[in-house]
Amino acid sequence: MRKKLLSIVLISLLLLLAACGSQSSSNSESSGDSKNVIKVGLSVPLSGAAANWGITSEWAAKQAANKINEQGGVTVDGKKYTFQVIAYDNKYNATTGAQVAQTLINKDKVKFIAGSIGSAPTLALHTLTEKAKVIHFTSAWTPDIKGKKFPYTYTTLNTPREVIEPISTYILEKDHNLKKVAVINPNDATGTDTSAVSLKVWDEKGLEIVVEDYYERGTTEFSQIVTKILSKKPDIIDLGATPPGDAGLILKALSEQGWDGVKIIGAGTSADQLIAAAGDAANNVYLGLAPDFNSKIATDVQKELAKKANQELKQTLNAISMQSYDGLMAIKAAIDKTESLDPDKLIKALQEVKVDSSYGPTAFGYKATYGIAQQMLLPITITQIQNGSPVEVKRIIPKELEEKGIK
């Protein structure tokens, strides 16, 4: 009986060790001595309506880590280091985001966050990263993580402050008869932050804001909400930070009720996902963050990654996907310049270093807006769904990038 019990215990231990080994390898993109590995964390949604953003972000970060590691890694104090990517599902909410933050900072002891998605979980993470001097790259739009008080946080995706004004200007220049706008967003930090910028821009441009409304993520029936919106007779409906799955349902409801005005998703990042969700109702929608990485104007890096992601994931990369790749490349650039892991030396380097991003050579800027160079200088893209396909109608290169002489 004792031998049988001992056998069961040994088998259980072996199974536990195998499971731990499997979990470790799923999060690892490193080689060489484990002591010479730099852990890089991700807090992203890997489930729910925004899962496409998280799944593709994790994949892109690991592609960047593989590329750097295969090229010999980075040098710190004369020693070679490689990168290990560790990703957790923040479920796009503050509660789980706080749990992920604790795990990454206190358990995994990461030195960098290459990407975080969602304002609510990012705010939870940001509280710890600034205190621990963990350098944090994010796609989150909340303004509460930027400024001179938060020198360890950097944005690797355009935010409402960079996107909404140019896209609204483009639309109003095409049609001078647009007078009323309805602004709809998810009822969370991402939605309210985006709405605040949209409302300010539309007001400054002289439009009447007839609706400011918020919905709960996970809503599947929008017909009553849409009926309420259309009763105010808007010329423009601005869906702000609404993710593709939810936006598709709203667009279908608008189409079913016969509305055919101007539709904008300023944070629209995935044209393919939107088309899949909305069908014909996606036609003519404007997107503010939906570069086509398969187009002629995409960089060779973006084309290669887009092709590989389609083959391996059966998913399309989008602007949010790419931010974690660019975050890792920024980490590499800072370490290459300093040959150090001292966070204070690294953030000083980030103020001036050139980054080989997926978009091509770039740097951090917008010091006049945020107090320090904290926002990656990226092209602003305006895309429209035309006949079931995304068409990039305008691309705007930041003037600051040209002034820095980076091409």
Q: What is the CA radius of gyration of the chain?
A: 22
In a domain, 388, yes or no: no
How many angstroms separate the first and last alpha carbons of the chain? Answer: 74
User: Cβ(245)–Cβ(203) under 8 Å?
Assistant: no
Between CA 243 and CA 55, with CA 91 as vertex, the angle to 5 degrees is 70
* Domain containing residue 116: CATH number: 3.40.50.2300
Total tally of structural domains belonging to the chain: 2
Q: What Cα–Cα distance (Å) separates residue 120 from each residue in 58, 96, 101, 133?
A: 19, 10, 12, 20
Q: What Cα–Cα distance (Å) separates residue 203 from each residue in 176, 209, 222, 366?
A: 15, 7, 26, 23
Residue 145 sits in which domain range? Answer: 35-158+297-376
Per-residue pLDDT tens, the chain, 407 aa: give them: 444 433 433 333 333 333 333 333 345 444 445 679 999 999 999 998 789 889 999 999 999 999 999 999 999 999 999 999 999 999 999 999 999 999 999 999 999 999 999 888 999 999 999 999 999 999 988 888 999 999 999 999 998 889 999 999 999 999 999 999 999 999 988 889 899 999 999 999 999 999 999 999 889 999 999 999 999 999 999 999 898 889 999 999 999 999 999 999 988 777 888 999 999 999 999 999 998 888 888 899 999 999 999 999 998 898 999 999 999 999 999 999 999 999 999 999 999 999 999 999 999 999 999 999 999 999 988 999 999 999 888 888 888 988 888 87
Same domain for 310 and 331, yes or no, is yes
Considering only CA atoms, which of 284, 282, 287, 279 is closest in space to residue 319? Answer: 287
CA gap 39, 156 in Å, rounded: 19
User: Cβ(288)–Cβ(163) under 8 Å?
Assistant: yes
User: Cβ(186)–Cβ(246) under 8 Å?
Assistant: yes
User: Cβ(323)–Cβ(154) under 8 Å?
Assistant: no
Three-state SS at 239? coil
In the beta sheet, which residues pair with residue 116?
A: 43
pTM, full prediction: 0.81
Same domain for 191 and 219, yes or no, is yes
Same domain for 149 and 178, yes or no, is no
Joined together, the tokens standing for residue 396 give 């705007």
Same domain for 283 and 301, yes or no, is no
